[in-house]
Structure 1
Amino acid sequence: MSIANFPAALQPVIQQGYLSRAFQDALESRLGFRSIADRMDFPARIGQTITDTRAGLLAPATTPLNPASNTNFDNGMSPTEWSVEQYTLSINQYGNTMDLNQVTEGVGVANQFVANAHRLGINARQTLDRLARNALYGGGQNGVGGYLGGNTRVTATLAAAGTAVAVDDIRGFQTILSDEGQVIAIGASGGMLVTVGAGSYTLVGAVADAKNTSTAPQGISGTLTFSTNVSVADGTEGMAVVAATAPLVLRPNGRSTTSGLLAAGMKDANGTVVTGDLLTIQAMLAALSALRDNNVPTLDGGVYHCYLDNSQLLGLFRDDDFKLLYRGQYGSDAYQTGQIFDLLGIRFIPTTEAPQQASLGAGGIHRAIICGQGALIEGDYANMGNAFTDTLDGGELVHVDDVCMITRPALDRLAQIIAQSWCWIGGFALPTDLTANTTIIPTATNSYLKRCVVIESLGASA
């Protein structure tokens, strides 16, 4: 009750205006991307990178053996070999630290030591989740690009037919898999087949701009060089540029580029007023079909995981097909909570870490990503828990989820200032699946990266 109800003689002795004796938690991100990564230990004493090999399968032998050739020691058969492909996992060290003066902490109104430790833990989790997200969308080091790679647009119309085309993002065009399954620079290969506008051309070089002007999240603007001239019609600003080995990127209503997405009330190429390119069930079904055509394994619970932001999820809730599927008794949980739910073999997981992109004219661009098992590899330094044990000299180390939380004793002259830190040594990589071709899986696509599908759309406003 209010102190105004106390006797007037007692009110002056009631001390007011003191700080609360406990810290209040601030808002934090909603995470999830790291949870899909397959963990592997990065052995000690092998250097900064490790190259792993994925073995393909043998093509089905559907041709009958010729009885007339069933002679000698080989019985008329010729030896075959399975194909391989490689990916490189690079490790780096990440961490953060805070200092704490024990004298100051001792006279404070709350336990700053515990608050620091809590915030460092949150910082570590968010850092690793963002590294996982960046690898999924943008690609790991020494890789073939992420799930946004190989899919961009022309940014400057050609004055005349020429071999050099300016594009918004060169990720996915810089490297290629050799016949031996190794990742090599595009200039050291025979080239890459790329569709520019309506034509197909052979890419022989990719150079980043001195000043990055890409509008894609963490994109790299630059120039693509082809072996033959690109026509002016194909090299017109806004035309789609898609590598033959690019991962699948879907957009509502068949829009060919990110800049082609239209907001409600805008007119399409046919002059028809559109209702807005929001996330739809049909786009989700197309992504689901592509994953199943490539026989991508599901994650836990037998479902694929879809990470999306709340604005994109709001657009899905407005889709007529979604409303129809959730009509009646099946719609209560999803509509009442708007939290994680399963639908059509997909688990929808809202996150605040989904990459954001500024408006390209129609509005902000949002990107959901649907992931299957094996899409992401996390390499953790195997010796992490023992790396600091012999050098702590009275400090404390806690090894949690492959992250080390380290408390260093005071080393200053007055022995007052201790350091609280976290450290992780590791990296993320995207394994390729080029060996899973149409010979092995007749419905497979030609993409290097097959285990995720990105869906670009506009977001819905509340």
Structure 2
Amino acid sequence: MAIDNFPAQLQPIIQEGYLAREFSAGLQSRIAFRAIADREIFPNRIGESITKTRKGLKAPVTVPMNPSQNTNFDNGLTPSTWSVEQYTLTINQYGDTIDLNVVSEGVGISNQFLANANTNGIQALQSLDRIARNTLFSGPAGGVGGYMGGNTRVTTSISASSTQVSVDDVRGFERVLNATGQVVSVAQSSGMTVTIGSNAYTLISVTYDSVNTSTTPLGASGVLTFSTAVSVSDGTEGNPVVASTAPLVLRPNNRLTTAQLVAPEGNYGSNNYITGDTLGIQTVLAAVAALRMNNVPTIDGAYHCYLDDQQMLGLFRDGDFKYLYRGAYGSETYRSGSVVELLGVRFIPTTEAPLQASLGSGIIHRAIVCGQGALIEGDYNGSVDIPDSERALVDNVDGIMMITREPLDRLKQIIAQSWYWIGGFALPTDATVNPSIIPTSTNSYLKRGVVIESL
């Protein structure tokens, strides 16, 4: 396309493709959550949602047919069908821009032009990665929650048996899948089984607090209402509150809630020394075992574990890990200071892992171990069809549109460098995979990831 309307200093950069390369180079930041997503083309417009249906399987037949009933046209068989479940994918537009004043930049206009493209690229991918991360942990709007949902704790002790209990985070409790696989509010269903303390109760409604006091990242505090009264012993502050359909959340030393995590190297009595609840290889292997029991497929032969560098440090301090690598201190794992692949897990350090302020024992870190299909990315198929105009350069870099507009101001001095992405993320459920289909599977709606909390 014609580039005559751009300053002469920039025309060689545009012709040689340096601009797109700088934008693409900026997309190589230390972030990784978007990589877990399976990409799909979204045919609808911005702001619209599409509901997709996933079919389940049929339970195996282990009882032989009765020969005396093998008659008539149906041969004694009763037709059965597979169950279905649905998930909703919504797309929105995200973007930002930066201006380049060709006069004030002077002789450095070329360098500034490329620097802006690189900065836009970093911002774009970091934005998409954070949206993917938030969806993975918190869940999309209107869904059944994310991989941190349905697992919280009582925040205020009840003084007498009550049907209402205040909790730190109501995500994962608001919606259920009905008999036809549709996502509905818990109030429109027969209820959700929730374990509080030591006993199970039936949840019938969820109310958000007018002022959010949740300590959990992206959490929402509120009140859970049950069909029967919760006992005082179960409704005591700090007790775990776990939905029967909640994804698995693991903590070192089998801690039941986030608030129970114990700080490293704490002395508790003369004969009781606690090393602390930092990440260890056994907790990671427990997550892998859970994924395998649900028959979650791997990603290129291994599960992905996204974690921050502090959790990686805890892994290197773990006794089992050091025993595994005893005599191998010259290995690439120790030389580079990062685990590439170990015991069927590919460890991917990221600076985007969610952190939580201390609840008394230190900052809380969260890793997630994922298999294939844990996240779906929907890209608007109309993005690539937007025509170039004579006044702008339009480049598509990995689904992100980079727009460079010529100076349109009165003095013809300000170039606009922008980016936008039209798409969204969704968490497909696997509720139809139950113990009748896979005997080792769980009842969780979301089975393709396991969150690990540690200090």
| TM-score, normalization by structure 1 | 0.90
What is residue 8 of structure 1 aligned with on the other side?
none
Indicate if the aligned counterparts of 2:316 and 2:322 stay in contact, CA closer than 8 A: yes
Gaps of 5+ in 1: 1-24
Specify the structure having the higher radius of gyration (Cα): 1
The residue matched to 2:104 in structure 1 has which SS? Answer: helix
- C-alpha spacing 1:432/1:331, structure 2 compared with 1 (3 Å): farther
Q: Tell me the residue number matched to 1:292.
A: 292
Conserved 8 A contact 1:29-1:352: no
Say whether the 8 Å CA contact 1:29–1:351 is kept in structure 2.
no
2:359 alignment partner in structure 1: 360
State how far apart, in whole Å, the 2-side matches of 1:33 and 1:48 are: 24
**Shift in Å at residue 46 of structure 1?**
9.1
Q: Unpaired segments of 5 or more residues in structure 2? A: 1-24
Superposed CA offset, 1:61-119 (max 9, x none): 11111110011000000000100000000111000101112222334476211111110
Deviation at 1:330? 7.0
Indicate conservation of the 8 Å contact 2:392/2:405, yes or no: yes
Q: 1:46 to 1:425 in 2, by over 3 A?
A: closer
- How does 1:143-154 map onto structure 2 within 5 Å? 143-154=143-154
Structure 2: how far apart are the matches of 1:258 and 1:228?
Answer: 26
2:207/2:223 contact within 8 Å kept: yes
Residues 1:59 and 1:267: Cα distance change in structure 2 (over 3 Å) = farther
Structure 1 residue 87 and structure 2 residue 87: aligned?
yes
- Which AA in structure 2 matches 1:360? L
Show the counterpart of 1:15. none
Q: Percent identity?
A: 63
- Matched AA of 2:97: T
Paired letter, 2:415: I
Cα root mean square deviation, aligned: 2.1
CA deviations 1:335-388 (Å, max 9, x no partner) are 12112411110011111110011100011101110010000000000111123x
Q: Is the 8 A contact 2:154 2:166 kept in 1?
A: yes
Match for residue 309 of structure 2? Answer: 310
Is 2:377–2:424's contact at 8 Å kept on the other side of the alignment? Answer: yes
Contact preservation (8 Å) 2:98, 2:416 = yes
Q: Distance in 1 between matches of 2:233 and 2:186?
A: 25
Taking the TM superposition and a 5 Å limit, the aligned residue runs for 1:268-417 are 272-300=272-300, 302-329=301-328, 332-387=331-386, 389=387, 392-417=389-414
For residues 107 and 322 of structure 2, the distance between their equivalents in structure 1, rounded to whole angstroms, comes to 58
Shift of residue 156 of structure 1? 0.5
- Deviation string, structure 1 residues 385-409 (Cα, Å, up to 9, x no partner): 123x25x342100001000000122
CA contact (8 A) 2:366 2:454 kept: yes
2:449 paired with 1:452: yes
- Describe the superposition over 1:37-73 as per-residue Cα deviations: whole angstroms up to 9, x where unpaired: 0000001459711111110011111111111001100
What is the letter of the counterpart of residue 396 of structure 2?
Answer: H
SS of aligned partner of 1:227: strand
1:207 corresponds to which residue?
207
For residues 258 and 452 of structure 1, what CA distance do their matches in structure 2 show? 18
Residues 105 and 111, structure 1, Cα contact 8 Å, conserved in 2: no
Say if 2:133 is the partner of 1:136.
Answer: no
Q: Is the CA contact 1:141–1:429 (under 8 Å) kept in the aligned structure 2?
A: no
**Mapping of 1:67-146 within 5 angstroms?**
67-108=67-108, 111-146=111-146
CA-to-aligned-CA distance 1:395-432 (integer Å, 9 cap, x gap): 10000100000012222112221211000000000000
Query: What is the DSSP-based 3-state SS (H/G/I as helix, E as strand, rest coil) of the residue aligned with 1:329?
Result: coil
